[in-house]
Structure 1
Amino acid sequence: MSFHWLVLLAAIAVEILATAALKSVVAEPWLITALPLVLIGLSFALLSVALRVIPMAVAYAVWEGLGIVGIAAAGHLLFGEHLTPERLVALAAIIAGIVLIERGVGHGVEEGKQGRLA
């Protein structure tokens, strides 16, 4: 896995932390606003690094799609939110969409090499 894919995965992890922080930070009022904003800013900065090599459609689909799946998992594990069978099917559909978008990127030799997950 290339450096830029690892950076994209880091951006996703930070995005999940930022969203979880929106729900969990209750200590100080300024933290409720500041911590998630700093984290989402870091996530966007990491995404911008990944976009230097990974095609935009793929990077954004992976960032948002895996972010949604990760947030659903975090909600279930940290906050007891239910993952019903319907929600699990929807999350699987998101992952399938990411794979389809990734597989459809690039028609030339160079683009095809850049956009592949594996």
Structure 2
Amino acid sequence: MSTTYYWLCLLASIVFEVAGTSVMKLSQETWPLLGMGCMYLLLGLSYFFLARAVVKLPVGVAYAFWEGLGLTLITIVSVTLLDERLDAMRLAALGMVLAGTLLVHHGTAHGRDDEEAEAASGGEGRI
């Protein structure tokens, strides 16, 4: 399967995690048992797709995206649906989380390129 499939699995994992966490919060007052059941189902699906994603994607990259994008989406849901405030400090923190996620991905991709180049040259670049 192509790498795109594994990135889509990661995206599905993030969406299910955000949905599960959101359902938990939104259903606390009206349908707590149904909400808890939905939460467990959605979080289970999240981990299923995360497990699929790390078959091909580096675990550190997958986890960084899962946490970083998940945190960002949860914040968007909490601001839009739960009337929570988004102040400058929280916005700056989200920016740093997303920047860190991209740096982990970028650093991992370059590390892999360096290893592949070294393997292709027969390890001549080593000291």
**Superposition map of 1:24-35 within 5 A:** 24-25=26-27, 26-35=29-38
In 2, the alpha carbon distance for the partners of 1:111 and 1:65 equals 26
Please identify the structure whose Cα radius of gyration is greater.
2
Q: Is the 8 A contact 1:14 1:39 kept in 2?
A: yes
Q: Does 1:86 align with 2:89?
A: yes
Identity in percent = 36
The offset of 1:30, in angstroms, is: 1.9
Q: Does 1:20 align with 2:19?
A: no
In 1, the alpha carbon distance for the partners of 2:115 and 2:10 equals 18
In 2, the alpha carbon distance for the partners of 1:29 and 1:80 equals 20
CA gap 1:108/1:90 in 2 versus in 1, 3 angstroms: closer
Q: Does 1:9 align with 2:11?
A: yes
CA gap 1:87/1:71 in 2 versus in 1, 3 angstroms: same
TM-score by length of 2: 0.81
TM-score by length of 1: 0.87
Unaligned runs of 5+ residues in structure 2 are 117-127
Runs of 4+ displaced beyond 6 Å: none
CA gap 1:80/1:64 in 2 versus in 1, 3 angstroms: same
Unaligned runs of 5+ residues in structure 1 are 113-118
Partner of 1:39: 42
